[in-house]
């Protein structure tokens, strides 16, 4: 029975695990040893970019009378985990037999580990190893290089905030599928930079890149063209950045990530200038005295809200009296004007009368 059962081999990736270091896509012959005897199986596997495995196979190798299908399978680093269900023969299908295997991938791409199954309700154990076929190493590891406070003119506006640099070992960024860099305060996300890959892949083909996070400057991300920048409500304008995390999916599909918590520079220097509203030291409206507002005034100070309200009422009454006095002064000026005008008119009439008398006297002469 075991000689006819093939077991899929793959690298497992758990929900919180690292990304795969190997790609096991390909065809293999794998020996399953049980009680000192090797039973060869054919195996064909297909691995996606995140390390998930699908596949099928059969035994004996080359004949495949007994067949199986991979049910679950993933790649995590160089660790192997998998399960496969029999699809033939009757004794393996009823009741359903499932094989579980785990192992590692060696530096030469060969694979080996241990297996177990529940054939006919039992519990068989053994070891397995690949005889032909090799996994392909996924090169590349991401390294944090710098993380600092900056304030400089980029030519596309001033970057007043942070910059983070990263390097790649054993690979290049050529053909990278995605690049995301995130800025944090503790566990709180502040900003996210997502690379615009058409631009990034054109210019970044080496082993290094940097990502800017503007806080209070005028950096123009749109014209720069490398990053789509998304700011959260709190994006670093009042709290310091303490961590930056980069995640890159390489051309091979391998996802690599790293973080940097070693910030250099004073983050308070990138906070926007705070506009302080003018301080009102003297109340001018009664509403300013309410809701404990009376306690904030210094010229004069008050013992309670009522005293503050009385002061404003008195202040407003004085203003009103001043306005009345101004109006009375204008009226008085107008009356004086009129009186002066009448005096001139009387003088004119008197002068005309005198002239008339002179004329009369001349006529009498």
CATH number assigned to the domain comprising residue 255: 2.60.40
Dmax (CA) for the chain in angstroms is 173
Query: C-alpha angle 56/57/60, rounded to 5°?
Result: 170
Same domain, 133 and 146: no
What pLDDT is recorded for position 315?
84
Min mean pLDDT across 62-66, 75-79, 281-285, 337-341 is at: 337-341
Q: Cα 66 to chain center, whole Å?
A: 51
Burial class (CB in 10 A: 0-12, 13-18, 19+), 49: middle
Q: How many CB atoms lie within 10 A of CB 137?
A: 18
Question: Is 264 contained in some domain?
Answer: yes
What pLDDT is recorded for position 359?
41
How do residues 158-188 score in pLDDT, each as one tens digit? 999 999 999 998 888 999 999 999 999 999 9
How do residues 245-282 score in pLDDT, each as one tens digit? 999 999 888 889 999 999 999 999 999 987 777 777 88
Same domain, 33 and 127: yes
pTM over 0.85: no
Same domain, 175 and 223: yes
What pLDDT is recorded for position 342?
52
Question: Is 187 contained in some domain?
Answer: yes
What is the distance between the alpha carbons of residues 259 and 182, in angstroms, rounded to a whole number?
Answer: 9
Max mean pLDDT range (6-15, 91-100, 227-236, 311-320): 227-236
Question: Is 364 contained in some domain?
Answer: no
Same domain, 112 and 206: no
Same domain, 184 and 110: no
Same domain, 221 and 291: no
Q: Which residue has the higher pLDDT, 4 or 292?
A: 292
Same domain, 150 and 132: no
What is the distance between the alpha carbons of residues 361 and 365, in angstroms, rounded to a whole number?
Answer: 6
How do residues 10-57 score in pLDDT, each as one tens digit? 333 333 345 688 899 999 999 999 999 999 999 999 998 788 999 988
For residue 310, the enclosing domain spans: 279-354
Question: Is 224 contained in some domain?
Answer: yes
Same domain, 35 and 115: yes
How do residues 286-344 score in pLDDT, each as one tens digit? 999 999 989 988 889 999 999 999 999 988 886 666 555 555 554 555 555 555 555 55
Same domain, 74 and 169: no
Mean per-residue pLDDT for 125-133? 96
Residue among 196, 195, 235, 198 at smallest CA distance from 213 = 235
Same domain, 79 and 202: no
Name residues whose C-beta falls within 8 Å of residue 139's C-beta, 6 or more positions apart in sequence: 170, 171, 252, 254
What is the distance between the alpha carbons of residues 33 and 45, in angstroms, rounded to a whole number?
Answer: 21
With contact defined as beta carbons under 8 Å apart, do 182 and 192 qualify? yes
Which of these three, 83, 117, 137, is where a domain ends? 137
Which of these three, 226, 242, 270, is where a domain ends? 270
């Amino acid at each position: 029975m075991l000689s006819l059962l093939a077991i899929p081999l793959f690298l497992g990736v758990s929900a919180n695990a690292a990304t795969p270091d190997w790609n096991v896509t390909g065809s293999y012959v794998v020996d399953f040893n049980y009680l000192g005897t090797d039973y060869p199986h054919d195996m064909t596997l297909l691995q996606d970019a995140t390390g998930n495995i699908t596949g099928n196979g059969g035994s004996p190798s080359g004949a495949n009378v007994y067949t199986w299908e991979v049910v679950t399978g993933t790649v995590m680093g160089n660790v192997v985990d998998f399960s496969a269900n029999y699809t033939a023969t009757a004794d393996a299908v009823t009741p359903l037999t499932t094989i579980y295997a785990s192992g590692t991938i060696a530096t030469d791409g060969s694979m080996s580990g241990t297996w177990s199954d529940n054939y006919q309700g039992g519990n068989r154990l053994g070891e397995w190893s690949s005889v032909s076929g090799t996994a392909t190493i996924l090169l590349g590891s991401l390294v944090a290089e710098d993380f600092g406070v900056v304030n400089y003119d980029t030519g596309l506006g001033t970057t007043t905030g942070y910059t983070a640099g990263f390097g790649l070992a054993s690979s290049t960024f050529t053909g990278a599928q995605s690049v995301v860099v995130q800025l944090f305060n503790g566990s709180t996300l502040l900003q996210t930079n997502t690379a615009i890959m058409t631009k990034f892949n054109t210019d970044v083909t080496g082993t290094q890149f940097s990502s800017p996070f503007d806080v209070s400057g005028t950096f123009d991300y749109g014209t720069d063209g490398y990053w789509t920048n998304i700011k959260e409500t709190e994006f670093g304008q009042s709290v310091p950045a303490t961590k930056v995390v980069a995640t890159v999916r390489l051309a091979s599909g391998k996802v690599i990530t790293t973080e940097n918590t070693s910030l250099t520079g004073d983050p308070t220097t990138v906070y926007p200038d705070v506009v302080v509203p003018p301080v009102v030291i003297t109340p001018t409206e009664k509403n300013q005295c309410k809701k404990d507002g009376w306690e904030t005034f210094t010229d004069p100070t008050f013992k309670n809200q009522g005293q503050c309200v009385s002061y404003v009422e008195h202040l407003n009454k004085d203003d009103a009296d001043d306005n009345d006095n101004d109006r009375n002064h204008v009226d008085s000026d107008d009356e004086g004007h009129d009186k002066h005008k009448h005096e001139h008119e009387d003088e004119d009439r008197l002068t005309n009368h005198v002239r008339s008398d002179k004329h009369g006297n001349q006529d009498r002469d």
